[in-house]
Chain A
Amino acid sequence: MNFQRLIDLALKEGATEAEIYYSKGKVVNVETQQGNVGFAEESVSDGIGIRVIAGGAFGYSSSNDPSTYEKAVRTAITCARARGKDPYLKGLPGPRPYKDVTGIYDKRIDEFELGACIDTMAAMVEKAKKDGNVSVTFGKFSSQSSSTTIINSNGIEAREKETAAYGYIDVIIKEGDQVSTAYDYDVSRALDRDFSGIGSRAAELAKSSMNGVSIDSKNCDVLLGPQAFSDIMEGTLLFAINAESVQKGRSSLADKLGKKISVDGLTMIDDGLMPGGLGTAGFDDEGVPVGQTTIIDDGRLDSFIYDSYTAGKENRESTGNAIRGTYQLSPKVGPHNVRFEYPRSDVIGETDRGIYVNSIIGAHTANPITGDFSVECRNSFIVENGEKSKPIKSLMISGNAFEFLGKINGMGKDDRMLGAFVVPTVRIKDVHVTRGSQ
């Protein structure tokens, strides 16, 4: 496809700048139905997003049908004109050199075919069901590959290929009136791990969660497993460090630059160059070089993350954080791989008394602005004398995500890549827990 032709058309129709984002993806996906693989999918999709500047404002349109590409170009210009001049708009980015990134494309995933996906899923199910009592209520394995092209009228011309393999399993155990569930998942850019381990881990977690006890409401140390910690911080902390939230008056960290927002010794970095990271890329979704941005430096808020538009508003450079979920969306500010530097230790082993929480229900109901949340915990355990002991049937934890940053007093060595985070088990002191219904 000759995208330069569409750029030329946009300029001829009166746009002053224009950008084409083209992505093409392929997915092979298998899912279980009633315990073994009963569904298989192979799909391809491709489409363009066209962003123009006309009359001093952005306009956006997208299409997945080449016969309407030209119409999309004209629509984007009409949308831009309808807005009126945007005084903050500094224009589209220009070309700059990209750093080499590694580990985001694995030919083996690109060539992974249906039979191999079925075998991988079957191995996950088999491991999960090794003990006769465990049933698999849902399992999924997919291999995805995609390529992205960005060109703009300032001379950016960028291309990248990437792959990912994703495995997920949900299990249940029923014995008498006892019911226990657990899930686990893993995602990787390369076929570098044994996905069947997801099955054994979920089954093990469900088993160890049987015959839960109830606990009294109190304040205590809470150890948030990687999933629980990332779930709570995703909708709150990641929202607040986003320059768009800051500029629009919706971030509670807006006036905290240079101030202490977490415990001493904690550094948080958005590392877009991490080898094999899920958010790793040489360039962001508007063609700006990706790098590493220190967000929290030894407890103090050091920087927000920016795309070119939000950076332009503050006369600074983009941090390379323009992200789009699909070609249908215009780029927005978003993180790559957010990781923590903090002394690591055997965080469970050194806890005398506390509660370990593996996962939570309702994380998306956290208040993104204030950081307040109150959620149900699943697969949680009493921690006594450095060990997980009895499972807890039901409990809620409540608090404030931003206050949690100042109450961290331990981090484990079990980092996992989960969405935009790379996080370990994190111990938070003095958390309010409420006794559950059972």
Chain B
Amino acid sequence: MEFYDVRELDGYTTSIVYDNGEVDEISEHFMTGGAVRALSGGSFGFTSIDDVKKMDAAIKDAVAIARRLDKLNPRPAIEFVPIPKIKKTTYKVIKNPADISMSAKQDLVKAVEEALKNNDLVKSTKVNYSESYSHNLFRSSEGDEAEFDTYRTGFSCVAVAKDGNNMQMGRRSYYNVGGYEIFDQCDPIKLAIEAKEEAIALLKAGPPPGGHFDVILDQELAGVFIHEALGHASEADTVLEGDSCIEGMIGKKIGSDLVTVRDDPTLVRYGYYPYDSEGVPSQNTTIVEKGVLKAYLNSRETAAKLGGHPGNARAGGLMRPVVRMSNTFIDNGDMSREEVFEGVDGIYLKGSRGGQVNTGEGIFQFNAVLGYIVKNGRIEKPIRDVSISDSTLKTLNNIERIADDLKFSSGRCGKSGQGVPVADGSPHVLVKNAVVGGSA
């Protein structure tokens, strides 16, 4: 089979950075370009260009590279599943950020900064505003076409508090798909106050105990857990490489009955997209239902090999499409937050400083921003720099309680060296007997 598809992007990003009360940067960047992926037999050829007027030559080049590779290193032919015909409506921006004046944006950033530093312990502040727009065109040699616009807008803020030699940082952010309307979905000043309070709370936090504990994860941290530990292992390209701890386990029980996990690019969260980078209309995937592994996330190629539907092939900018998550979450349980805490002796962990996974061995690590010792369900003294590292499957089985307060956080996932926007979500969860790294 010979095949190619073409993506063209053009757009801009604007960023405003305020640092310690002064403008650190105002910049605007323009970007255009195209990428071509060609398949010949069992080999892919790829090329990207800045000047889309040279697209015909780029297509020729990509096809030539694929043919050459397939000749030098013949492999079994790769098949693609067809693109499902699903009618799509694309999210339409409500308040185009280009219509908002630069001074209004600067006023917002300044107000956030004021709220951040409204305390003598706060010594340093930083606020980032960004908006981006891209116009996306897709076409393939099979005649499929897609065209859509994407806006992403948001801000982040950091407060650094200092007391003697002790220096700590608090951070909050809100990013979403859409334009300036995202500021109607959040309260930037309230988030700034939370960042400030977090930095100050961390000044009073002690070092964490190391060892095995029952832990309650807040929505952000449990979201990072499900993204890192299970989400990456469920990406079908990783499964096909023999590098996933859940290879061959579809239909099998891999977690506690309480656990249902979905990846849904149709939700208007940061990982939203109407079409993926193979031109496939997006759809929801239930990865785990009541503890049973139901599906992997697929591209057109992996769906042909492993079954399931395509729609999760995403590319960072003009790089090659790779199987990726979108908005990935643990679905709501039926307990209240209070019931999750009831009677627990252990550690409550809040916020995420990121995580990483070894999908083959099924080992993950993530780091909480702030923690608390919990005694008989009551939140007691604060601790900081707490990490958990554990086995993915053991942890999924040890989830014993799930609340009904699902919440999403926005982030960027860096698989294959390509940053793409994602959202991770979860309610509060209780995990029994997790490994906490600590020094006290």
Contacts and interface: CB of A to CB of B under 8 A. Distances in A.
16 contacts: A37-B43, A43-B48, A62-B27, A63-B30, A137-B242, A217-B211, A250-B124, A362-B354, A362-B365, A362-B367, A365-B366, A373-B367, A374-B367, A398-B438, A399-B439, A438-B391
Contacts of A435: 211, 435
Given A114-B65, A361-B356, A396-B435, A65 B51 contact: yes
A398 B210 contact: yes
Interface residues of A, number: 80
Given A399-B439, A434-B436, A71 B30 contact: yes
A45 B50 contact: yes
Interface residues of B: mostly helix, strand, loop or mixed? strand
B160 A250 contact: yes
B386 interface: yes
A137 B241 CA distance: 5
Contacts of A396: 210, 365, 387, 389, 435, 437
Given A41-B320, A62-B30, 11 more contacts: A33-B44, A42-B47, A45-B33, A60-B26, A64-B31, A65-B51, A172-B242, A179-B362, A369-B160, A370-B385, A435-B435
Contacts, number: 253
Given A137-B241, A181-B360, A437-B391, A61 B168 contact: no
Contacts of B394: 437
Nearest to B394: A437
Contacts of A45: 33, 48-50
A40 B437 contact: no
Interface of A: 30, 33-34, 36-47, 57-65, 68, 71-72, 75-76, 79-80, 82-84, 86, 114-115, 118, 122, 135, 137-138, 170, 172, 174, 179-181, 217, 248-250, 252, 328, 330, 361-365, 367, 369-370, 372-376, 378, 394, 396-399, 432, 434-438
Contact of A374 (B22, B28, B386): B386
A250 B44 CA distance: 46
A364 B354 contact: yes
A68 B33 CA distance: 13
A118 B73 contact: yes
A174 B354 CA distance: 28
Interface in B166-198: 166-169
A434 B207 CA distance: 14
B73 A370 contact: no
Contact of B387 (A58, A80, A365): A365
Contacts of B363: 361, 376, 378, 394, 437
Given A362-B366, A396-B387, A249 B25 contact: no
Contact of B437 (A38, A248, A398): A398
Contacts of B102: 82
Nearest to A397: B437
Interface of B: 19-20, 22-23, 25-33, 42-51, 61, 65-66, 68-69, 72-73, 75, 78, 102-103, 106, 123-124, 126, 160, 162, 165-169, 207-208, 210-211, 238, 240-243, 245, 318, 320, 353-358, 360-367, 384-387, 389-391, 394, 434-439
Nearest to A372: B385
B22 A86 contact: yes
Contacts of A76: 27
A39 B75 CA distance: 11
Given A362-B387, A396-B435, A61 B367 contact: no
B27 A330 contact: yes
B162 A437 contact: no
A85 to B, nearest CB: 10
B355 A362 contact: yes
Contact of B65 (A42, A60, A64, A437): A42
B302 to A, nearest CB: 11
